[in-house]
Amino acid sequence: MEVSNALKRRRYDGDNQMEAEVDLSLLEALEKSQSAVDLLDLRTLKKLVLSFERRLKENIEARLKYPDQPERFADSEVELHEELEKLKILAGAPELYPELVNLNAIPSILNLLSHDNTDIAIDVVHLLEDLTDEDVLEDNDEPARILVDALIENNVLELLVQNLQRLSDKDPDEMSAIYNTLASIENMIKVKPAVAELVCERTKLLRWLLGKIKLREFDSNKQYASEILAILLQNCPANQKRLGQMNGVDVVLQAVAMYKSKDPKTSDEEEMLENLFDCLCCLLMPLENKERFVKAEGVELMIIIMKQKKSAYASAIRALDFSMTKYPPACERFVDVLGLKTAFAAFMGKIPVSKKNKKESYQEELEERLVSLIASLFVKCLCGILRGSRRERLLSKFVENECEKIDRLMELYIRYSDRVKAETQRLEQLELDDLEMDEEEKYNRRLESGLYTLQLIAVILGHLWCSEHPQMKARIELLLKQQKLTKNDIKDILQEYHDNIGDLDGAEEKERALTRIQKIIASF
């Protein structure tokens, strides 16, 4: 699965609004640095670090000497603040990052995240965000790696999150620092993806993020928290399981439930809702979290969201697809709470109309999700999970209204078959043009072009044929004849699907899947 890409960096102004202007503090630092503006070299770097260390030492001594007299060390903190501002110019010369590390300045800078004066800690947060900014580190992979490694070695993750917990959204400066803390963590993940698991293992960031998305009020930091949470969960089973153990499934469900009968008011709020569904779908990868989802009545909530036909409609279908894939209890619950009626209405194209919904890509994703969801139900049917009334209710959907859903299936079959044929021809032409491509790569390209959905459609048609229902079999044969196709065309697709079933879920599950498909092929 994929989830959504990260936002471009943005900042807050004093009124808690995003601003696109140049960072004024950075300009000020550039002006104060004088000659460093023209030439930022190793010598200038050493001067900057030496001056910073001197001011830091003076501040420590003043605080130790006059602990109960803030006015006696206030000047030293103003000077320390100015030195931290000057260090921001290093973002203009990332090639010097290795030298910054060699000068052993990183520990001194990071220790200030625990400074008693929150303003100093905030200065460090802004400095770290500038130094690790995506645009700054572009084309500077090695210096970036050296800097991030040094930061992590000196406990930047622990210190950032500890500082995060003392910041408040009620203060504009602290609100900005919260955003830049999350931005710094995201920047480090881009340089070193392992940071995503490290930060969750070593800190209480996941718990803080959960607390943030639980809030009813929307703000830009809640939006960013949802995005960071999605990034941490993406492709990281350890984080998915860790968050599940922290009651994360229930918290995310509560967060999306706020939009079951209303739409987001702004595009930013809409993006946050999409992030929350990304989080939910990532959480539904481990089996134990699927169980938590069903127990928390997640299936019922998704059906309610679909019935309300608000902006989260397609996201709810996606979450249902994830929950029901390879998890029979979710399939059973879905049938029991009358999900078939809602799902098949969508399958027949009865979806809410909006500007977004009119886009062809939106329609296609919805179709593919619904085909996957229905295929999951049929797999459980063949396994004997959906028995008796559940099985009959599923099959009856394909008989009602003169088998209109079989007509719809065949319509999708033809469309996706044409797309796969076009891609196959394109790949053959590339080979003629001497572009080498192995069989696995060609198969993956065809899967991306629609072969996977075509295979699932063939699986559903195969299950309908196996039901031995005379009306459904007659309809399938009629439609094949009208399209000048035969049962062998479906068998060929099923055979290729059979031959490429992997063992990602273990040897036993692979064997069961092979047996299921072989049984369908033999029935034609």
Task: Convert the pLDDT of each residue in 128-183 to its tens digit.
Answer: 999 999 999 988 999 999 999 999 999 999 999 999 999 999 999 999 999 999 99
- pLDDT > 70: what percent of the chain? 90
pLDDT of 24 reads 57
Q: What is the mean pLDDT of residues 42-47?
A: 94
pLDDT of 356 reads 64
pLDDT of 244 reads 98
Nearest to 383 by CA among 343, 341, 331, 336: 331
Q: How far apart are CA 441 and CA 437, in angstroms?
A: 6
Give me the sign of the Cα torsion angle 202, 203, 209, 211. positive
Q: What is the mean pLDDT of residues 100-119?
A: 97
Higher model confidence: residue 467 or residue 222?
222
Q: What is the mean pLDDT of residues 190-194?
A: 96
Q: Which band of pLDDT confidence, cut at 50, 70 and 90, is reported for residue 16?
A: very low
Tokens of 30: 């550039």
Q: How far apart are CA 414 and CA 407, in angstroms?
A: 11
Backbone angles phi, psi at 11, to 5 degrees: -125, 165
Q: Identify the H or E element spanning 19.
A: strand 18-19
Q: Which band of pLDDT confidence, cut at 50, 70 and 90, is reported for residue 504?
A: confident
Quick one: 155 exposed, middle or buried, by C-beta within 10 A (0-12, 13-18, 19+)? middle
Model pLDDT for residues 155-165, shown as the tens digit of each residue: 999 999 999 99
Single pTM value for the model: 0.88
Cα–Cα separations (whole angstroms), residue 403 to 272, 369, 396, 520: 40, 21, 9, 21
Q: Identify the H or E element spanning 457.
A: helix 452-466
pLDDT of 435 reads 75
Nearest to 254 by CA among 280, 274, 286: 280
pLDDT of 37 reads 42
Judged against a pLDDT cut of 90, whether residue 116 lies above it is answered with: yes
Q: How far apart are CA 377 and CA 460, in angstroms?
A: 9
Give me the sign of the Cα torsion angle 384, 390, 392, 393. negative
Q: In angstroms, how far is the first alpha carbon of the chain from the final one?
A: 33
Judged against a pLDDT cut of 90, whether residue 307 lies above it is answered with: yes
Judged against a pLDDT cut of 70, whether residue 26 lies above it is answered with: no
pLDDT of 352 reads 81
Judged against a pLDDT cut of 90, whether residue 391 lies above it is answered with: no
Model pLDDT for residues 308-351, shown as the tens digit of each residue: 999 999 999 999 999 999 899 999 999 999 999 999 999 998 88
Which has the minimum average pLDDT: 27-41, 206-220, 290-304, 437-451?
A: 27-41
Q: Which band of pLDDT confidence, cut at 50, 70 and 90, is reported for residue 40?
A: confident
Q: How far apart are CA 260 and CA 447, in angstroms?
A: 33
Q: How far apart are CA 319 and CA 300, in angstroms?
A: 12
